[in-house]
Amino acid sequence: MLSKLIKHEFKSSYRNYLPVYVGIILVSLVMYFGLKGDSIETALYALLIAVILIIVLYVLVFVNVMKSLGERIFGHPGYLLFTVPAQTKDIVLSRVIVNFLWIVVSTLIGAIPLLLFVGYIDQVVTSSVGGEFSNLLGDFALSLIGIESDASMFDKVISVVLRVFDFLQIIAVIFIAYTVSNTIYHGDKKKLIGFIIFFALTYIVSLILGTAFFTTTEITTQYIGGEAFESYISYHTTIQKVYVLIFKLLVCGFAFVGSGYLIEKKLELE
């Protein structure tokens, strides 16, 4: 039954993603092949386009995940979903798996304009200064998926796993927020309440993860044009990454099991 639920969840969601993916790839290619010259302004235009595309993509992902875990479970389609002979855990799992895969694919698609931008900068820098700058940007691109090039293998692995849990955490918090607003809360403003719970939980989680137990903060001084600038740098040591991973594992476990429990025991489809 799980595979069938996954199949139909893909069928109901792919239309929301594929046209945007095609659009992003096309705009990215036009940007890459269309930008000429080696001025700062041209580079900034390329970066601006890449950033806008990534923002558009993530807003779309966010809205689609909310729809999948909100109105398409607790709205009218819920009549179809909750009368099929499926176990609640399969229903929950199917939504988590499909939304997780969409976030992963969207992240890969979102990396295309960024990588093309890196490629563009690489061309510019190689032709003027040399290749060193582009290596730094390559490291930056790797850091987007949580990998630092000089880190140990254990650190790299745990960083990638952490990024996976970043994605799962988004789904988990949206899921529990909408489940609570549709099962425990009995008023009319379910969407608003779901939204408030989502932001409150996200804020609480980020507050906890910002404590010294999970995050190391250092003050660094940078010299730009002869002037000193102080800035705060926050990072996780390897052991802190393990703590963060355990914490995110607990958050996701609590949210998914809690959502399943509430649907199983407290479902109130209107």
Partner 1 sequence: MAEHLIEIIDVSKNYGSTQALNHVNLQIDKGRVVGLLGPNGSGKTTLIKVLTGLLKQYEGQILINGEKISNRSKALISYLPDQIYFDKWMKISDAVSYFKDMYEDFNEDRFNQLMSSFRVEQRSLIRKLSKGNQEKLQLALILSRDAHIYIFDEPIGGVDPVVREIILSTIMHNHQPDALIILSTHQIYDVEELFDEVIFLKQGQIVLHENTKALLKSYDKTLLDVFKEVFRDAF
What are the tokens at 182?
């549709």
6 contributes a contact to partner 1 by CB under 8 A:
no
In angstroms, the CA 258 to CA 123 distance is 51
19 contributes a contact to partner 1 by CB under 8 A:
no
Considering only 36, 41, 85, 227, the residue that binds partner 1 (CB under 8 A) is 85
What are the tokens at 91?
């229903």
In angstroms, the CA 259 to CA 270 distance is 18
CA dihedral 153, 154, 159, 160 (to 10 degrees): 70
78 contributes a contact to partner 1 by CB under 8 A:
yes
Using CB under 8 A, count the residues that bind partner 1. 26
Rounded to a whole number of angstroms, the minimum distance from the CB of residue 74 to partner 1 is 11
38 contributes a contact to partner 1 by CB under 8 A:
no
157 contributes a contact to partner 1 by CB under 8 A:
no
Strands 216-224 and 227-235: antiparallel
The set of residues, in sequence order, having a beta carbon less than 8 Å from that of 238 and lying 6+ positions away, is: 152, 154, 155, 158
7 contributes a contact to partner 1 by CB under 8 A:
yes
264 contributes a contact to partner 1 by CB under 8 A:
yes
Q: Do 25 and 18 contact (CB within 8 A), yes or no?
A: no
22 contributes a contact to partner 1 by CB under 8 A:
no
Q: Do 161 and 245 contact (CB within 8 A), yes or no?
A: yes
Tell me the β-bridge partners of 181. none
246 contributes a contact to partner 1 by CB under 8 A:
no
204 contributes a contact to partner 1 by CB under 8 A:
no
Rounded to a whole number of angstroms, the minimum distance from the CB of residue 87 to partner 1 is 5
Binding site for partner 1 (CB under 8 A): 1, 4, 7-8, 11-12, 15, 72, 76-80, 82-87, 186, 264-269
